[in-house]
Amino acid sequence: MTDPVPRAICLGEAMIMLAAEAGGAPLEDVETFRRSVGGAECNVAGGLAALGVPTGWLSRLGTDGFGKHVLHDLQSRGVDVGGVEDDPTRPTGLYVKHSFNGRTQMHYYRSGSAAAAMDPAFLDRPAVRDRLAGADLVHTTGITAAISTTAAEMLDRLAALRDTLGFTLSVDLNWRPALWRDADPAPLWRLLRAADVVLIGADEAVAFAGTSDPGELRELVGPRSTIVLKSDAHVALALEPDGRSTEVSALTVDVVEPVGAGDAFAAGYLAGTLQGLPMEQRLRLGHLSAAAVLAVPEDHAPPPDAATRQALLACSEAEWAVAQVGPAGVRLGGVV
């Protein structure tokens, strides 16, 4: 049996993540690191696949051992990687996650990576073009626009191909000021204004656009997209092009580690979009997917099983309000 054609494509850099395991020691004293795979778009790809959406991930990787591990990891999670291009001269990027004095910091080593060499011609590779042509949805982030000038040009081309190939274009802002230092964010504004779905956190909206007001964001981003705004009060608001708005509060979570939760939310919301769920259930599925990641130390985690997801998507607002998520799983509180 052949693998299903990916309905969703995620385009962007994956990196090796090395998590310090020294119990809160300074980075210079850490001797042991735990390896895993990270990167916004590949996190979303894995989340979509875990929710039953045939998903592919497109990028470039070094032919080093780290690149091979990325491929093996994503394949083991059910993600199609047949469109990934190998680079024999540039390395696979990596980053170090380190917690000390109650703060978690990321240290990135991605300059000159294989993924940073993506350019508009990358989209013309047959393995890439065929997957884009067969996709219902293509997802990327502002990080990809920031990693190189050529990658930003590639995303301009992607937006133009959307109008030709007919897929839905989803963009998560993922504002990273350090990546835009001394750079003009105009390519990111173009990408957001071309998108059909814009995912954005309230804190990063203020840092990037100077506001988290939904109406002001609508004026800045333009009329095309559904804007999904995640607020500091843990409420997700979807503002559709026709003016309809839907709000859903997050689940109560015993938080272990916040990194990766935004990507999981995106995966849940986009899976609900592809499944044709009502807007409230799309937002609930986003919150539920994010909660599963918040409850573990890794950047990604499997979502609750299908029966639990279905129960939470169909429950009343009062039942949703008392559901809780922790390391042991979901406490439904009478939902089922």
- Quick: pLDDT tens for 208-266: 999 999 999 999 999 999 999 998 668 999 999 999 999 999 988 877 676 778 999 99
Q: Is 25's pLDDT higher than 90? A: no
Q: What separation in angstroms does the CA of 179 have from each of 145, 176, 182, 258, 260?
A: 10, 6, 9, 21, 18
Residue whose pair of structure tokens reads 């990325």 in the numeric block: 70
**Of all helices (H) and strands (E), which one includes residue 313?**
helix 306-314
Q: How confident is the model at residue 51 (pLDDT cuts 50, 70, 90)?
A: very high
Q: Does the residue 209 lie in any domain?
A: yes
Q: What pLDDT does 77 receive?
A: 95
Asked, for residue 128, whether it belongs to a domain, the answer is yes
- Examine residue 72 and state whether it is found in any structural domain, yes or no: yes
- Does 75 map to a domain? yes
| Structural domain contains residue 27 | no
Total structural domains within the chain: 1
**Which pLDDT score is estimated for 331?**
63
Task: Name residue, tokens 């009478």.
Answer: 334
Residues in the chain: 336
185-to-143, 189, 314 alpha-carbon distances in Å: 11, 7, 41
Q: What average pLDDT does the structure give for the chain? A: 92
> Average pLDDT for residues 110-137, to the nearest whole number?
97
Question: What six digits make up the tokens of 16?
Answer: 């090796």
Closest CA to 14 of 76, 81, 61: 61
Element (H, E) at 252: strand 252-253
Confidence (pLDDT) at 256? 67
Percent pLDDT > 90 in the chain is: 75
Backbone phi and psi for residue 300, each to the nearest 5 degrees, phi listed first: -150, 160
The pair phi, psi for residue 116, each rounded to 5°, is: -65, -15
pLDDT at 56: 98
Closest among 336, 238, 333 to 287, alpha carbons compared: 238
pLDDT in the model for residue 231: 86
Contact 48, 71 (CB under 8 A): no
Average of per-residue pLDDT across 99-110: 86
Which position among 172, 263, 299, 305 bears the catalytic label?
263
* Within-domain flag for 33: no
Q: How far apart (Å, rounded) are the C-alpha atoms in residues 215 and 155? A: 26
Pure H helices in 166-201: 186-194
- pLDDT for 334 equals 43
Q: What is the pLDDT of residues 80-101, one digit of tens each?
A: 999 999 999 999 999 998 888 8
- The 8-class DSSP code of residue 183 comes to S
Question: Cβ distance 155 to 145 under 8 Å?
Answer: yes
Q: Is residue 170 part of a domain?
A: yes
245 inside domain? yes
Active site residue 196: no
For the purposes of burial, counting CB atoms within 10 Å of the CB of 296, is it exposed (0-12), middle (13-18) or buried (19 or more)?
A: middle
185: domain range?
Answer: 8-13+39-86+117-324
The CATH number of residue 220's host domain is 3.40.1190.20
